[in-house]
Amino acid sequence: IVLGGILVGGYVDHTKQYKRVTLACLVLSGLCLLPLGYMTNSNNAEDEEENVPFGLRYLAEATTTTTTSGWLVVFAMLGLGFFAGPIQPINAELAVDVIYPGDETAVESVQQIGGNLVSALLVPVAQWAARKQISVGGGTSTGTSDDDDGSGGGVICGDLILLLGITVLTFVYFRGFDAQLKRSLADSRDDEMREQQDGSGVELSDIQFETEKLLVV
């Protein structure tokens, strides 16, 4: 998350491509979620007690072995942190840029409180969705993890579907975002004025000195 914030955030600070980078991060975060929400569903004796999340099973194996599946999960988790982590600070900066010259602290506080509130409200929904499953790869599922018949193949967790749905809705909504970057425009005007002043060869201090002489006279 820290590395993503430094690299992605630094790129956005330099280019001001808030929208393009946010959309790219949403897509890549969704792709990184997929290996973490898939669950094996087999008839093996050791797996009969409960379905083990694909991510947790192979993440444990990756610490002692070099299985391809295990490292896939590790890289998926790292990628998720790298791409999902910068989304909030990037859009906090975007909000400040859009509402300029409004209060920066107020905007960031509202965004932070709103994000925490929505996250808290989604916790029970995610817990309920985690008990739901959709069969893939030839497996069958009755819809809950408690009464799945374990006939092979695999299932996708309901909480993964919930997160992917939120990601898709956010992508669709933000894709239509179009607002003027007022602070960036103001900074550009200031830079242009400085360049014009430098090109004229007249220093601001010289103007102030001449004005003071006239006032003395």
Q: Which structural domain range is residue 206 located in?
A: 185-217
Domain shared by 190 and 212, yes or no: yes
Beta bridge partners of residue 156, listed in sequence order: 38, 134
In the prediction, which pLDDT does 25 show?
95
Q: Cβ–Cβ contacts within 10 Å for residue 115, how many?
A: 13
- Give me 150's structure tokens: 């374990």
For 131-152, the pLDDT digits (tens) are 887 777 654 454 554 444 444 4
For 34-52, the pLDDT digits (tens) are 887 765 444 343 443 444 4
Domain shared by 143 and 62, yes or no: yes
Domain shared by 133 and 198, yes or no: no
Domain shared by 191 and 114, yes or no: no
Segment 194-199 mean pLDDT: 67
Domain shared by 165 and 200, yes or no: no
Domain total in the chain: 2
- Spatial CB neighbours of 55, under 8 Å, sequence gap ≥ 6: 35, 36, 37, 38, 73, 76, 77
12-16, 186-190, 209-213: lowest mean pLDDT where? 209-213
Residues shown for the chain: 217
Rg (CA), the chain: 26
HSE, side-chain direction, 13 A CA sphere, residue 101: 2
Tell me the C-alpha to C-alpha distance, in Å, between residue 95 and each of 18, 92, 144, 162, 192: 10, 5, 41, 26, 24
Domain shared by 35 and 119, yes or no: yes
In the prediction, which pLDDT does 216 show?
39
Q: Which helix (H) or strand (E) holds 157?
A: strand 154-157
Strands (E), 51-136: 133-136
pLDDT at position 162 over 70: yes
